[in-house]
Amino acid sequence: MQDPVIVEGLSRCFGDLVAVHDLSFEVHRGEIFGMLGPNGAGKSTTLRMLCGILDPSGGRATVVGFDVGTEPERVKQRIGYMTQRFSLYDDLTVEENLRFYAGIYGLSRRERRARVGDALERSGLAARRNQLSGTLSGGWKQRLALVCATIHEPPLLFLDEPTAGVDPVNRREFWAHIHRIATGGTTVIVTTHYMDEAERCHRLALMSRGTLLDIGSPEEVIERRRIRIALVLSPDVAAAVEVLRQHPAVDEVAPFGDQIRLATLGGIDPVVLAHDLLDGGPGVRDAREIAPNVEDAFVAIVHGEARQEEHG
Amino acid sequence: MNRMWAIAWKELIQVRRDRLTMAMMVGIPVLQLLLFGYAINTDVRDIATVVYDQDHSAESRGFVRRMQATGFYDLVGPVESYAEIGVALRSRKAMVALVVPPRFGADVEAGRTAHLQLVVDGSDPQVVASATDTAMSLAAARSSTLTVERLERLGLPTSIPSQLIAMQPTTWYNPDLRTAVFIVPGLVGVILTMTMVMFTAMAIARERERGTLEQLIVSPIRRIELTSGKILPYIAVGYLQMTLILIVGSLVFDVPIVGSIQLLYGLSAFFIAANLALGLFFSTLAKTQQQAMQMSFFFLLPNILLSGFMFPWDAMPAPARWLSLVLPLTHYLRVIRGVTLKGSSLFELRYELIWLVGLLTALMVIASLRFRKKLD
């Protein structure tokens, strides 16, 4: 079966600004696909093009079997889309918002009643069904926005920074819910700039300044960078940082409280390196290796690019 | 269809919850009606008048009495010089002055032409016309009477009529020539133009500002479903306003509805919908609700000036008349004045109907085409 999303050389310019440049990737059925990058990386622009509400400047994308450039309306019936602004009508109640979105997706009266009742129960919003959406807390708004975006049970769901401004507890619950949706066979594409959220995706696209930096499972993305991380305790943190920074194999030295987070490239053991460099000078009180995360990988890529630019 | 009703239902809930909009819907028509109804009053009565009588004869006093009896002139006092007339006009104590020269009575008695002078404040042309017309006919009437009396005294036969050609003006459809009867039906059109355009002009701009537009265009809803869904509930609102104005107009200003109410309401639907479609078009141009509001106001002015609401349409220069044809109000004024005042039939209003349907269709197509389901 064809992948629900196939992107080939997709680009988008706003005047002189290249927001998305020559993007290519596929998303497989039933996976949670994360797009990670800072603000301005082109994540939201990409999502909007895939939803058919923004015309690409170049390249093409096939979503649920239809070209978004030529048949955007056929794409729209089969996707759900939730923005970071939680596009709800503040002056409508929880239930009215649900009924409205069920209505504009053309659900019949019967389907509408069944799905709205079901969604209210499952989301825990049943007790608040008559509350105006504008008076809901951020977490409840997010939950309502999600059920509104999925009321027509789309096989593909786009979430644009869905956890922006939501507290950590709600964020965890939200992700648990996303995983339940994906288990049911729905494909989910989610943008985020939270690194911990990125690690909960099946596969990731790392983006920066409109280009794709890397793509793969979180483990693959980290593995490919061949970085190793150590936490180093030194009596003289400031001096130790200065010494470590000089070494070419060191990717990053960052003080974390009274510890130093040391990242090395090319598979070099950071604990051995710390002892080699510091024992004669500022000294090492303790050094132990920890597993690198997606954030380390992301930083390593960005640093790598900066180095390449410096050396032409 | 289903999707269109979803939009219409949502709009209705929003209108009902928005207390300010609700208040505007009911408040604007009533308030405007009272303001316009009382302020736009071109019926000229009780014009403040001073008399500079240099004659003090029975004939001069008689003429002044007859002037007063018409109800057009309100005598506010005698003056003794032209200078005093000037003061009275400039201080707005009076707008008209009657000057009776010395020997006026004697001239009349002797059968010579006697002159009267009427000084009128020209800063209000409406007053000038009424004041002079009335005074001229008074003078003409008095002349005929005097002529007949003279002929009788000379012993000539009095069987000849005092006037050989008598013009008898008869006014149909508003016999008392009351302004309110003319203004109130027109006001229905003006108020509907103002509120209807504004409602839909804000409707899409508001969705854009609140970020819900993105959620709408990402749905499979068709453009015509969205535009129709946005228009439908406001047709009901328009009918509500129209009914309110007609009821208040009938109770307060005694404005009759001579023709068929069903015909009036039936034709009004096209006018209301045309204005709503125009509002939607503005909405696709405006980025914010404020811009949408400004456009609605700019649109109102040519409507008031060119439609025939304030100034007689037939007296306008040809280019202005052509321009006015694209305004739905121009055609609707003929419909509503025709039905309420003259009892016009659908057949008599067929061209207005064709124009309104044409404008509505054009505006719906333009609004739907302008509204693209894209973000940029």
Could you give the CA distance from residue B176 to residue B186 in angstroms, rounded to a whole number?
Answer: 18
Angle at A310 between CA A307 and CA A312, to 5 degrees: 110
Alpha carbon distance B93, B48 (integer Å): 7
Q: How far B222 CA lies from chain A's nearest CA (Å)?
A: 9
User: What is the pLDDT confidence band of residue B163, given thresholds at 50, 70 and 90?
Assistant: low
| pLDDT tens sequence across A64-84 | 999 999 999 999 999 999 988
Q: Closest Cα of chain B to A196: distance in Å?
A: 28
Q: In what side-by-side order are the strands of the sheet with A156-160? A: A79-82, A156-160, A187-192, A32-36, A203-208, A211-216
Interchain contact A77–B (C-beta under 8 A): yes
Contacts of A76 in chain B (CB under 8 A): 218-220
B117-120 and B96-100 beta bridge pairing: antiparallel
CA A306 from chain centre, in angstroms, equals: 23
The answer to whether the CB atoms of A54 and B376 lie below 8 A apart is yes
Tell me the C-alpha to C-alpha distance, in Å, between residue A166 and each of A84, A138, A159, A191, A204: 10, 6, 14, 15, 22
Please give, rounded to a whole number of angstroms, the shortest distance from the CA of A169 to a CA of chain B: 26
Please name the member of B211, B221, B374 whose beta carbon is closest to the beta carbon of A104: B221
Residue with tokens 């994360």: A34
Q: What is the pLDDT of residue B211?
A: 87
What's the pLDDT band for A167 if we cut at 50, 70, 90?
confident
**Cβ within 8 Å of residue A114, ≥6 positions away:** none
Task: Provide φ and ψ at A262, rounded to 5°.
Answer: -115, 125
Q: What is the pLDDT of residue B41?
A: 65
CA-based end-to-end distance of chain A: 44
Looking at residue B253, its pLDDT comes to 86
Q: How confident is the model at residue B164 (pLDDT cuts 50, 70, 90)?
A: low
Q: Are residues A77 and B220, on separate chains, in Cβ contact within 8 Å?
A: yes
Give the one of A76, A90, A104 whose C-beta lies nearest to B7's C-beta: A104
Between A185-194, B89-98, B157-166, the lowest mean confidence (pLDDT) is in B157-166
Q: Are A163 and A193 in contact (CB under 8 A)?
A: no
Over 90: is that where the pLDDT of B262 sits?
yes
CA angle A88, A90, A91 (to 5 degrees): 125
Of A54, A79, A103, the CB nearest to B6: A103
pLDDT band at residue B127 under the 50/70/90 scheme:
confident
Residue B372's closest chain A neighbor by CA? Answer: A53
Q: Are A102 and A111 in contact (CB under 8 A)?
A: yes
Q: What share of chain A is helix, strand, coil (3-state, %, to 5)?
A: 40, 30, 35
User: In which band, very low, low, confident or very high, does the pLDDT at B43 lie, cut at 50, 70 and 90?
Assistant: low
User: Looking at beta carbons, which residues of chain A come within 8 Å of B221?
Assistant: 104
B211 or A32: which leads in pLDDT: A32
What ipTM was estimated for this complex?
A: 0.85
Are B212 and A88 within 8 A, CB to CB? yes
Percent of chain B with pLDDT over 90: 43
The model's confidence at residue B1, banded by pLDDT at 50, 70 and 90, is low
Give the best-scoring range by mean pLDDT among B108-117, B168-177, B257-266: B257-266
Inter-chain touch B14–A79, beta carbons under 8 Å: no
